[in-house]
C-alpha cells in the first residue's frame, strides 16, 4: 500500500469519488484555479472542469444553500469551508435546512461539508476552532473526525455516498504531518464505528482527530501501564458499544479533545459512561480539553491552551494512582 499524507488521502478520496460518480461535484472559495487554501483540490479544475469544480463568492450561506438545492435534485455536492470557523456564516442553511429536510419533507440531502479545523499553527481565534459541538445539537446531521490517512480517505468516501448531510472535520495540523499506509482505489469505512488504536487493560483514553496521536504518544510508555486508546472517528452517530466496552474492560477513563471543555463531545461521552457503566468504574471520569477561551494567536499562549502530551500524561498518572 502506498504511504500518503492525511491531505493526500483526502484529496485522493475526493478525486476518486468524482471519477466514479458524475453526481459528485465540489464548491467552495478558491478551490478551482488556486487549488484550495490547503491545496486539497489542486489540479481538480483541469481534470473535471469548471462545471464540477465551482469557485464561489465569499458567502458560506450561499455555498451550503446551493449544495442543499443541488442535493435535493439528485446531485452529491461537497462543500469546502476554507476554515471550519466560517461554517458559522452558513449555519442556518446547515442546521435549519439541510439537517431538517428529511424530517420535514422526506427528502434526502446527500451533501458533505468539509471543515478544516483545529489549531497548532498560530492561526488565531478565527481560523483555529474545533466547532464540532455546534453540530452535535442539530438532529439530522452526521459528524465525522478522522485521525489517520486511511480513515480520512475511507470516511470521506462514505460521507459523500451517504444520503444524509455529513460534516467532515479534517484537522489542519494533520495535513502534512501525519502519514500512513492507505489502500489504493475506492473504499468506504462505515460511519458510526470507533477504532481501537491501541489495546489496553489498565485505563482507556478516548479521543478523536488530532488528539488520537497525542494520546498514543502520551501513553506509549506510561510507567508500565497498559493504556487503551479508542479513536471515536465518528461523533454522530457515536459508537456507544465501543465506548462502553472499553470502559468496562479497563474501569478507568480519560476523555481527550482539543475543543473547549463545556458542553463538548467529552461531556456527552462522560454522561453516556456515567449513565450506563457507572458501576464498572474504579475512578472518576477525567476530561482533558482546551479551556473555555478563544484560541490565542501567540504560539506560547496557543500551546498553553491546547492539550499537550504532558497534560495527558499527568491526567493518566493521577487516575491510575486513584
Span 216-254, pLDDT tens digits: 999 999 999 999 999 999 999 999 999 999 999 999 999
Distance CA 94, CA 213 (A): 30
CATH code of the domain containing 237: 3.40.50.920
Average pLDDT over residues 87-112: 97
Share of the chain above pLDDT 90, in %: 98
Could you tell me which residues come within 8 angstroms of residue 1 by beta carbon, excluding any fewer than 6 positions away? Answer: 181, 182, 183, 184
Query: Do 33 and 172 fall into the same domain?
Result: yes
CATH code of the domain containing 41: 3.40.50.970
User: Where is the domain boundary, 119, 154, 181?
Assistant: 181
Global pTM exceeds 0.75:
yes
Query: Do 42 and 164 fall into the same domain?
Result: yes
Asked if residue 302 has pLDDT above 90, the reply is: yes
**Residue tagged active-site, from 127, 171, 173, 257:** 127
Per-residue confidence (pLDDT) for residue 1, from 0 to 100: 86
Average pLDDT over residues 14-35: 97
Concerning whether 173 is annotated as a catalytic residue, the answer is no
Domain with 259 in it:
195-320
- pLDDT tens-place string over residues 132-164: 999 999 999 999 999 999 999 999 999 999 999
Domain count, the chain: 2
Q: Label residue 272 by pLDDT band (50, 70, 90).
A: very high
Query: Do 278 and 243 fall into the same domain?
Result: yes
Query: Do 135 and 221 fall into the same domain?
Result: no
Asked if residue 189 has pLDDT above 90, the reply is: yes
Buried b / exposed e over 94-122, threshold 16 CB at 10 Å, is: bbebbbbbeeeeeeebbbbbbbbbbbbeb
Q: Label residue 214 by pLDDT band (50, 70, 90).
A: very high
Residue at 189 is within a domain? no
Instruction: Return the number of other C-beta atoms located less than 10 Å from residue 46's C-beta.
Output: 11
Query: Do 34 and 153 fall into the same domain?
Result: yes
Place of cell 500500500: 1
Query: Do 153 and 201 fall into the same domain?
Result: no
Mean pLDDT score of the chain: 97
Average pLDDT over residues 178-197: 96
Residue at 186 is within a domain? no
User: Where is the domain boundary, 181, 206, 227?
Assistant: 181
Least-confidence region, from 11-15, 118-122, 257-261, 287-291:
118-122
User: Where is the domain boundary, 150, 181, 212?
Assistant: 181
Amino acid at each position: 500500500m502506498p504511504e500518503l499524507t492525511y491531505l493526500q488521502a483526502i484529496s485522493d478520496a475526493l478525486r476518486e469519488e468524482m471519477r466514479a460518480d458524475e453526481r459528485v461535484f465540489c464548491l467552495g472559495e478558491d478551490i478551482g484555479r488556486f487549488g484550495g487554501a490547503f491545496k486539497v483540490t489542486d489540479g481538480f479544475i483541469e481534470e473535471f472542469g469548471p462545471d464540477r469544480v465551482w469557485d464561489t463568492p465569499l458567502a458560506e450561506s450561499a455555498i451550503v444553500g446551493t449544495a442543499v438545492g443541488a442535493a435535493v435534485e439528485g446531485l452529491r455536492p461537497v462543500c469546502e469551508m476554507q476554515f471550519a470557523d466560517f461554517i458559522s456564516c452558513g449555519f442556518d442553511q446547515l442546521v435549519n435546512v439541510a439537517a431538517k429536510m428529511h424530517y420535514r419533507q422526506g427528502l434526502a440531502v446527500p451533501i458533505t461539508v468539509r471543515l478544516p479545523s483545529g489549531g497548532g499553527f498560530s492561526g488565531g481565534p478565527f481560523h483555529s476552532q474545533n466547532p464540532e459541538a455546534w453540530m452535535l445539537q442539530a438532529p439530522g446531521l452526521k459528524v465525522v473526525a478522522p485521525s489517520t490517512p486511511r480513515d480520512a480517505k475511507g470516511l470521506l468516501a462514505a460521507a459523500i455516498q451517504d444520503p444524509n448531510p455529513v460534516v467532515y472535520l479534517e484537522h489542519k495540523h494533520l495535513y502534512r504531518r501525519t502519514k500512513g499506509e492507505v489502500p489504493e482505489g475506492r473504499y468506504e469505512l462505515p460511519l458510526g464505528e470507533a477504532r481501537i488504536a491501541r489495546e489496553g487493560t489498565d485505563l482507556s483514553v478516548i479521543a478523536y482527530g488530532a488528539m488520537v496521536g497525542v494520546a498514543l504518544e502520551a501513553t506509549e510508555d506510561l510507567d508500565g501501564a497498559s493504556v487503551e486508546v479508542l479513536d471515536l472517528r465518528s461523533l454522530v452517530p457515536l459508537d456507544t458499544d465501543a465506548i462502553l466496552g472499553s470502559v468496562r474492560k479497563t474501569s478507568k477513563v480519560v476523555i481527550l479533545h482539543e475543543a473547549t471543555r463545556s458542553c463538548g463531545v467529552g461531556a456527552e461521552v462522560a454522561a453516556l459512561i456515567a449513565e450506563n457503566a457507572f458501576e464498572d468504574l474504579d475512578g472518576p471520569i477525567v476530561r482533558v480539553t482546551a479551556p473555555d477561551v478563544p484560541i490565542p494567536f501567540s504560539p506560547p499562549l496557543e500551546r498553553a491552551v491546547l492539550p499537550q502530551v504532558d497534560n495527558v500524561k499527568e491526567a493518566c498518572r493521577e487516575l491510575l494512582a486513584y
